[in-house]
Structure 1
Amino acid sequence: MAAITGREEKMLKIIHVSRIFLDLGEEPMEYGLLTDTMKDLSGAKYVAFNLFEEEGDGFETMSISGFHEDLQKAASSLGFNIVGKRWSFDPRRYERLFGESVVVYEALHELTGEVISDHLIKTLETIFDIGTVLVVPIVKNNRMLGDFTVMMEKDSLVSDFEILELYASQVGLLLSKRLEEKHREENQQKLDLVMDAIDAGAWVWDVQADQGDVSLQWMRMLGYDEKEWEPPTLEWWTSMIHPEDRDRAVQTLKQALASESESFAMEYRMRHKKGHYVWIMNRGKLMEWNSDGKPLRMFGIHLDITENKKTTEALREKEENYQVLVDSSFDIIYRLDLNGVFTFVSNAWTKLLGYSIEEAVGNSFRPFVHPDDLEGVEEFFRRIRESNTRQEHNNYRLLHKDGSWHWYTTTATPLWDEWDNVAGYVGTARDITDVKTINDQLMEKNQVLEYFFAINPDLILIASLDGRIVQVNNAWERTLGYGSSDLVGRSFLEMVHPEDVEKTKAAMGELKNDNVVWDFVNRYRSYDGTYRSLEWRSQPAGGLLYAAARDITEKLERQQEVEYLSFHDHLTGLYNRRYMDDSLKRLDTPRNLPFSVIVLDVNDLKEMNDVHGHFIGDELLKGVAQVLKETCRSDDIICRMGETNSSSCFLPHPNKK
Structure 2
Amino acid sequence: MDDLEVEVQGRRIPLEIKTAPVLNEAGEIIYVINAFQDISDRRQAEADRVAAQTLGHELRLLEQVLDVILAGYWDWNIPAHQEYLSPGFKRMFGYEDHELPNTPEAWQDLIVPEDLPGVFACFDRHVQSHGEEPFYNEVRYRHKDGSTVWVMCSGRVIEWDAAGQPLRMVGCHVDISDRKHLELELQESKATLQDILENAPAAIVTLRQLSDRFWVTTYRSGGCDRVFGYTVKELKDTPGLWLSRVVEEDRHVVITNDTSLDSLPYHRTAEYRFRHKDGGIRWISAVQSIRWDDTLQCAIATVIESDITQNKRAELALQDSEVRYRTLLETSPVGIFRNDVTGQCIYANPQLQDMTGLPLEGILGDGWSRNLHPENQDFMAAAWSTFVEQSNLGQEASYQHEYRYFAADGSERWGFVQAVPEYSASGLLVGFVGSTVDITDRKHAEKLLQDSEARYLSILQDQTELIKRCRPDGTIVFVNDALCHYFGLTKEEVIGRRRYPSGTMLLNANGVRSDPQSSATTTSRSDLVEQEGEDKDVLWFIPQFSNVSKIYPDDQSIVDDCLASLSPDQPVSTIEHRVVMSRGVRWMQWTNRAIYNEQGTLIELQAVGRDIHDRKLAEEQVRASEAALLEAQQVAHIGNWMFDPATQTITWSQELYRMFGLDPSQPTPSQQFSV
Range into which the TM-score falls when normalised by the shorter chain: 0.3 to 0.5
Structure with bigger gyration radius = 2
TM-score (norm 2): 0.36
Decide which structure has greater helix share. 1
Higher relative contact order, structure no. (Cα contacts within 8 Å, ≥ 6 residues apart): 1
**TM-score normalised per structure 1:** 0.37
